[in-house]
Amino acid sequence: MWWRRTRPGAAGHGRLVRGPRTPSAAGRGRLVRGRVPARGGLVRGRVPAAAPGRHPALVLALLLSVALCAGCATDPPEPSPVPDRERIDGAGRPITLTVGVFGEFGYQEAGLYDTYMRLRPDVAIRQTSLARNDVYYPQLLTHLTAGSGLADVQAVEVGNIAEVVDTQAGRLDDLGSAPGVDEHAFLPWKWAQATTPDGRTLGLGTDIGPLALCYRKDHFAAAGLPTDRETVGRLWAGDWRKYEEVGRRFAERAPEGVAFTDSASGVLAAVVSGVPLRYYDARGELVVATNPHVRAAWDLAADFARQGLTARLQQFTPDWDQAFARGDFATIACPAWMLAYIQDKSGPAARGRWDVTVAPRPGNWGGSFLVVPSAGRQRAEAARLAAWLTAPEQQARLFARRGGFPSASAAYRLPEVADARHPYFGDAPTGPLYAAAARGVPLAPVGPKDGLVNQILSDTGMLQVDQTGRPPESAWRAAMRAIDNALDR
């Protein structure tokens, strides 16, 4: 989930590619405690959602006081049965499983650990968490290499999954055949991201960040543009250049002080999130400098900056936050997790002014996985827990309560997703909208340093074009040099 980090990561989608090896989680946490009643299901009822925020994680953990879904939580299936001899550890105590995460995954807050412990009275779960993935991930690599200091289940961000699978495959269990795991329940491109060339699936997908476009209906109306979400979506359907054309129309009659979109970097990230080839090819070779898809995305984003269609902001900064509250821009590329961020920063006054519709092209911007280290003492139990947490029923419940969009496509049929609407965004049908976007994401290679390359393109390159007027070609060459230096090329 890229919103769990302070800085943006890669827009993850596609299949794993192999890359160069590099050096790396467990943080400190607290035991998830509670009574352990007899086995049983959940108490049904609607629960307000609180969607995440991958970069500004600690803020977004408190977000979304309104419900994201119109359905009720379904009773989760029980975990796979475990032989009695595996249920109790050598000291005769109930088994304790640890789960290491970064930021806010929502399992604890949504009550999933408590539910699992009710279903499995012999298991206790302790979650450990570090706020930032850029702190968590290096520690994870270090502990995997050492074979110690690991949680039984560890989270991995999509921008790191290629490197983990390429360099740590011998230290992780194959979860593809674990009890309760069904490959066909997941989106094919998500499953492929954590699968080795020889077919071992080392990570189970948690959430994803399918892409849509959010827009201010009041600003569109003031500029003489349609405001109905279906009509707005047709304005730019199928082509990001059409989105630029709408921006020029908006600029002709825009309200004073209102830009069409927030940033050129945001446009760049959105376009790159949906191309079939990004920074690495299928052999694990870095191709960012010669890839026409990336260069086309760069040129489009630079055109937005050159024509004055952006508010010249840097995402995930205080200025960006304040711009939401002031209504300084009319559109923004918004993965599913960003809805909560927009609601929080725009505030109650903008309720009903924002709406959400389809993006010009499907894309994915974020996501994570759960892995089971082979050095763990409770590997079979850990695999069962990871399988249960990522099963469609639990992913749907997590979406309903916390806003993380499921990577298990089988969850899209469940009422928590199929019937989900968002009151803040004009009662938009967010469940079906984002499910359609997720199914349309192309299968593309994911490289070991996608996140780093993405950050340099945005901060070293496009931000300079947007904020200082640096010529796009000069900024491109500077970004390519910075990428080479960062990767010791």
Q: What is the 8-class DSSP label of residue 84?
A: G
Stretch 29-58: mean pLDDT: 35
Stretch 415-432: mean pLDDT: 97
Stretch 428-438: mean pLDDT: 98
CA distance 279 to 303: 21
Beta-carbon neighbour count of residue 213 at 10 Å? 22
The reported pLDDT for the residue numbered 104 is 87
CA distance 238 to 361: 6
Q: Which long-range contacts (CB under 8 A, 24 or more apart) does 86-91 make?
A: 86/380, 86/381, 87/122, 87/123, 88/122, 89/377, 89/378
Span 64-114, pLDDT tens digits: 333 344 344 445 555 655 444 344 444 444 899 999 999 989 999 999 999
CB of 64 closer than 8 Å to CB of 51: yes
The reported pLDDT for the residue numbered 83 is 46
Span 278-318, pLDDT tens digits: 999 999 999 999 999 999 999 999 999 999 999 999 999 99
Lowest mean pLDDT among 15-24, 90-99, 370-379, 429-438: 15-24
* Model pTM above 0.85: no
Q: CB-based burial of residue 102 (10 Å sphere; 0-12 exposed, 13-18 middle, 19+ buried)?
A: buried
Average pLDDT of the chain, as a whole number: 86
Kindly tell me if the per-residue pLDDT of 327 is higher than 80. yes
Q: Tokens standing for 363?
A: 């894309």
Buried b (16+ CB within 10 A) or exposed e, 302-315: bbbbeeebbbbbbb
Kindly tell me if the per-residue pLDDT of 365 is higher than 60. yes
Kindly tell me if the per-residue pLDDT of 14 is higher than 80. no
Span 376-396, pLDDT tens digits: 999 999 999 999 999 999 999
C-alpha atoms less than 13 angstroms from C-alpha of 50 in its C-beta half-sphere: 17
The reported pLDDT for the residue numbered 82 is 47
pLDDT above 90 covers a percentage of the chain that reads: 79
The reported pLDDT for the residue numbered 94 is 85
CA distance 415 to 111: 19
Span 174-219, pLDDT tens digits: 999 999 999 999 999 999 999 999 999 999 999 999 999 999 999 9
The reported pLDDT for the residue numbered 80 is 54
Q: CB-based burial of residue 488 (10 Å sphere; 0-12 exposed, 13-18 middle, 19+ buried)?
A: exposed
pLDDT above 70 covers a percentage of the chain that reads: 81
The reported pLDDT for the residue numbered 28 is 37
The reported pLDDT for the residue numbered 48 is 35
Stretch 245-269: mean pLDDT: 98
Which one, of 128, 61, 147, 110, lies nearest residue 395 by Cα? Answer: 110
Confidence of residue 32 (pLDDT cuts 50, 70, 90): very low
